[in-house]
Structure 1
């Protein structure tokens, strides 16, 4: 999984929507609302099979490359001082995955497999509500591994 690519995507969402989104599950202080939080809840969901294996040469050396597809799930939650704000923020980022972010997604060899419904995630905290709405998005990506093919001995004369 390419964490730097996820960070670039979050930065692009902020640039395109104007919504501040921070990494979740950290001890860093949170900004005052409104803002969003993202968590990579499933960083690697294996695809079928082992992937495809191809061989190629470069600079007189032989290589083998394995290419496989995997999926990841990113959960987004948006916080605000009222329900209307959280719905608006969640919907704008939801729409980014459905349309506005298409060029970023394609340029980075990703594909959006599923964008979940925007749902109420409000919680009651002792004496007040923490208003939040969110959704999950499933993204498909590819993983490549390359190794050099070592020369093999084809025939051995054992004498006799």
Structure 2
């Protein structure tokens, strides 16, 4: 279902988390659950995946993982601030030690001059460590491609923050 390189990356993340006794959570907007779906495609993922939150709407971000509505209003759902709050909220609302979050404009519509199609904000949080953020400027490469590249970046971030 997923490209082989992504499945291999997910397996490596699972192995790392298992060896460090870390549980994972995801908070996803533009990927709609693909990160959690990829992780669960790997046998043994239940050892490390606590849960995945699909918080596609702004209201869901607030209701499910505690992202402050005024934060979304001030910065917009597609922002570093909201991605960080999503990752930290996923930690706070789960039994996870590590959480990764993504929010962006997958397209084909919905982009603006300030937040064009292909703009994605990713964040990774780990208990006891500073939350990390990354911005992707993928361009209008197609909805599926934006989502897959976002999954790729999220896996990398989760691996990096689980590794220290």
Please give the range of the TM-score, normalised by the shorter of the 2 chains: under 0.3
Specify the structure having the higher radius of gyration (Cα). Answer: 1
TM-score by length of 1: 0.27
Q: Whose helix fraction is larger, Structure 1's or Structure 2's?
A: 2
Q: Whose strand fraction is larger, Structure 1's or Structure 2's?
A: 1
